[in-house]
Amino acid sequence: MRVKKGDNVAVISGKDKGKSGKVLRAIPGLEKVLVESVNVVKRHQKPRKQGEKGQISQMPSPIHVSNVMLICPKCSKPTRVGYRFEGESKSRVCKKCGGIV
């Protein structure tokens, strides 16, 4: 996966198209990412103790990594990601401006 935890991404398809946010968690096994304030679902919780009320909580749900694009920190645009080898290290590169992500 070309997207990591902490990256800023833009949603390019689906019901939240056009939104952007920070990746809270990457799930490589399922090829999904959890983005803050994107794909928010409601969960109904039963009361656990006597006298406690039930509640409806909102939480983000994972979306497929193909539906997001990395936002380059240098040019501030959604871009594809390439790789460059510099000696022994491998770094991600913005395809638009060529800057290291």
Per-residue pLDDT of the chain (101 residues; tens, 9 = 90+): 899 999 999 999 999 999 999 999 999 999 999 999 999 999 999 999 999 999 999 999 999 999 999 999 999 999 999 999 998 999 999 999 999 98
* Sequence-ordered list of residues with C-beta below 8 angstroms from that of 86, at least 6 positions apart, any chain: none
**Domain ranges for the chain:** 8-50+57-94
Q: Which two tokens stand for residue 7?
A: 């990256």
Q: Which fold has domain 8-50+57-94?
A: SH3 type barrels. (2.30.30)
Nearest to 63, CA basis, from 37, 101, 32:
32
The pTM (predicted TM-score) of the whole model is 0.86
